[in-house]
Structure 1
Amino acid sequence: MELLPREELQKIQLNRLKKILVRAYHNLPYYRKKLDEAGVDVYRLKTLEDLKHLPFTTKSDLRKSYPFGAIAEPMHNIVRIHSSSGTTGTATVVGYTRKDIETWAELMARTLCGCGVTEEDIIQVAFGYGLFTGGLGVHYGAEKLGATVVPASAGNTLRQIQILKDFNISVLCCTPSYALYLAEVARENHIDWSQTRFRLGIFGAEPWSEEMRAEIQKKLPIQAFDIYGLSEVIGPGVAFECEEHQGLHISEDHFLPEIIDPETGETLPEGTEGELVFTTLTKEGTPVIRYRTGDISALYYEPCRCGRTLVRMKRVASRTDDMLIVRGVNVYPSQIESVLLSFDGVEPHYQIVLTRENYLDKMEIHVEVSPEVFSDEVKKLEQLRNAIQEKLKAELNLSSEVKLLEPKSLQRTEGKARRVLDLRKKEGSK
């Protein structure tokens, strides 16, 4: 499947799309309503081009279906339930049939293999286990591949480091921000990585930049790979980097991708950045049609140097809902991260704090620096701070105030890093 000529792959996609469309129409009332309102005859889909005439699905649609309204099978056919955290609203709930679980394991085995994992590896899974899809998704895929799995789950960093050493771990799977925290704790405890088998890091669940990849690879003896997935589609296993690091290969035999203009909904051409949209082609429990992910990416159809013909997506550095509007200027945290990490001595631990004074937005960037830099004379710190502020202004076309902090000033997290603290609403108009 990973090497098929595009014409053959498209035949498979069209056949599966026709089936999933009929399935959704007959088994999910909200899809029947959407498709009827759009004037779509699910039996008259002729080509993949017809996809653009189908209605979108949003997170709001799934939330309105809480808890089981998005499940297209009788509950006795559902063997697993996962859901989002619900921290930003009602949780989205997805159901998996036995076949879905088998498909997911196969996709994650493909993902891990694409990143260089073999059956000889011992994998430490430091994603959370439970309703979050990350831990169990990677776990089942690693077992399918034949690797040895250590289900460490998230948290207890000193214990994680001990396991890395004592269990001869060669592959770590977690969020990239947690990998950096683990590296920091390991350095404080004088861990000698040369005495371990540690060689690969497979990271996902949050956007991260090329600069952060460089930081991780500098602080840990690994090659870092990006993987992509989301619970509404299946979980991790939707796309993965190969050794070329030229975008993430999407498993197109199971997920049909599009890039759209987030404002107009129009489909955008190859290579153009926009919002990533997925239609599941094989999911039984919770099929989704044209699901708007909110992730900003682009698609590239030219075959990769690795030999795979699967379309590649640009790694996700931002989301439509991550975009900050500060004094009328659109700002993405990924832009700020790239600037910060371009300076020597600046640590990859930062927070963007938004406040409002006298009806005007104010943006402060709190960032840690290395112990050596922080112990420098005040004049050198001031020069560094000014240089960062000037580069940020040139990049963002917006003034901001940078505060350099001593190491470990910002709170660490075992899951997704909280990069933005927006206090404007709490402070009202003033």
Structure 2
Amino acid sequence: MKDVILKAENISKQYRLGVVGTGTLKHDINRWWHRIRGKEDPYLKIGETNDRSVKGESDYVWALQDINFEVERGEVLGIIGKNGAGKSTLLKILSKVTAPTTGTIKSRGRIASLLEVGTGFNGELTGRENVYLNGTILGMTKKEITAKLDEIIEFSGCERYIDTPVKRYSSGMTVRLAFAVAAFLEPEILVIDEVLAVGDAEFQKKAIGKMQDISKGEGRTVLFVSHNMAAVQNLCTRGILLENGTIKASGNIMDVTNEYLNSHIVEKIELHKVPKRKGNGLLKFLHANVESLDPSGSLLETFKDIKITIYFSVSQEMDIKQSRIDLGINNYMGDRIAWLSSNVVQDDFDLNSGKITFIIKQIPLAPGDYNFNIYSEINNEVADWLEGVIPFTIIEKDYYSTGKLIPKNQGNLLLEYNVK
């Protein structure tokens, strides 16, 4: 028999854009008139898919629509998706911060939520007083909170400031204390939004270890939202992928995260549409592809070979004596990491083919977002030059097979090494 501790049935959430509440007295009267006649809310029939990047025709939008799932006791469920997919809205409904428009949530036991930095904290109260306040909200007695207080303070690393008002805490300190409260006051269900990203690398590692202890050692349930795929894969047993307010995939965490990552792969990058370019136009870049050469998958990974193919057109009315095409690899901040050039590895290449291919062996880039600049030169003059136009992502993964995450912002390269 399944030991289901949380169940979502036909959960939908509708918002009206641009206003607070229902908007107008006319709408409220219309709703009331339908309700006393036993009819459905007329505005539930109106609404569009929640795609934040597209202009809509309706003032109503479905942030979530027909969400159904079950969570068993002791399970760690990862909820992933792009920004605006509905992840935070779903967690707020599960935490009873907001009510669903339609559908029901059934749960057994206390739910502790860590949705945003400082949620549930009173800035005028000290850290110690907020621990007691949050514990009381969770239904714990003062005696139970006191028994856990020393562990909470030690885990948070905020002992020196524990009797200082929380309004004077940094965001990192606030989330440390908030996580410690949520984790140590023993809720049956722990709901965590993307707040761990605020903490430093040491705290993230510590928090993930604690969540593993909560689920595996103590048999409690965790719902975890994160954009850190390595953390999701290491921590979660099952996953849900949200897209535009609906469930796109559900199941084994590796299958769900791979589907999410694959959705980010751009098959063909249209370069001919880029308006901002330099050069005399004797050569024009048309489009490009970035591919993995790993037979086991299409995702770009550290220490695997990748291929960049660039297609171009060339003016036929010229005498070509010298030509070259360069690639500059930049990180997400625009800093140059590496430079590749056709005339470094060979004297010349055939411009008549209309394409050039660069193969990078065992690319050592750390997980993250990058892009290419592309530059062409014919007869010592710039022909076409585009900056930051070929984006690509190296996925997060347990590259050293140790179960440990690689801290972000510690450099752009990963090196194969050992310690003796």
- Give the TM-score of the pair, scaled to structure 1: 0.29
Report the structure, 1 or 2, having the larger strand content.
2
Report the structure, 1 or 2, having the larger helix content.
1
